[in-house]
Amino acid sequence: MESNYEKEELFSPEKVAALAGHYKAILELLGEDASREGLLKTPERVAKAMSFLTQGYGQDPKEILLSAKFREEYKQMVIVKDIELYSMCEHHMIPFYGKAHVAYIPNGYITGLSKIARVVEAFARRLQVQERLTVQIRDCIQQALNPLGVAVVIEASHMCMQMRGVQKQNCSTTTSAFTGAFLTQMQTREEFIQLIGK
């Protein structure tokens, strides 16, 4: 049966081929027959999937923010909440997933709202730990926009805790990182926590 469907791939063919060779060897080491019908294209599919899930290595989050940096005298809190994130635990290369809530108080400059979500994505699409991810997002926004303060809270579930090891299905992890007014002004931090909780 002939198919007219052709998917456009943006991955390096050389990189995909090299990764696929390794994944074929992994399948065989696990005791599988990499030549059986169901697994024939699996090494290539996994190679492309991992290239997609780690594409953040090829992105510059600070440049993402600077690409839409505008002068604006607004000095109240800007919050982008419930930003979905999917990342890979660097210890087991198993996914963790959840939501990021990001706020900043402009100091003469704002950025496009979608750029905040893109920064989260750029850092999440790498091998990560949630603690570092939280701090990287905070520091990137602070460095690119020099705001009066930045707040980042991430709530995530880790499949390395759910499907292996301790196997606890209903636990989640919350991390936070703050700068400026969110550190020094309790009322500002409380307002942020209240707003992301609604």
Tell me how crowded residue 70 is: count the other CB atoms within 10 A of its CB. 10
If you search the block for the tokens 């990001």, which residue do you land on?
Answer: 102
What angle do the packed helices 113-124 and 130-145 form, to 10 degrees?
140
How far from the centroid of its chain's Cα atoms is residue 159's Cα?
15
Please choose, from the candidates 79, 73, 136, 81, the residue with its C-alpha nearest in 3D space to the C-alpha of residue 110.
73
- For residue 166, give the DSSP letter: T
Q: Quick count: other Cβ atoms within 10 Å of Cβ 60?
A: 12
What positions carry a catalytic annotation?
89-92, 130, 158, 160
CA pair distance 161, 190, nearest whole angstrom: 30
Under the phi-then-psi rule, with left for phi > 0, alpha for psi from -120 to 50, and beta for the rest, what region is 55?
Answer: alpha
Helices and strands per DSSP (H, E), number in the chain: 8, 7
Alpha helices in 54-129 (DSSP H): 61-66, 113-124
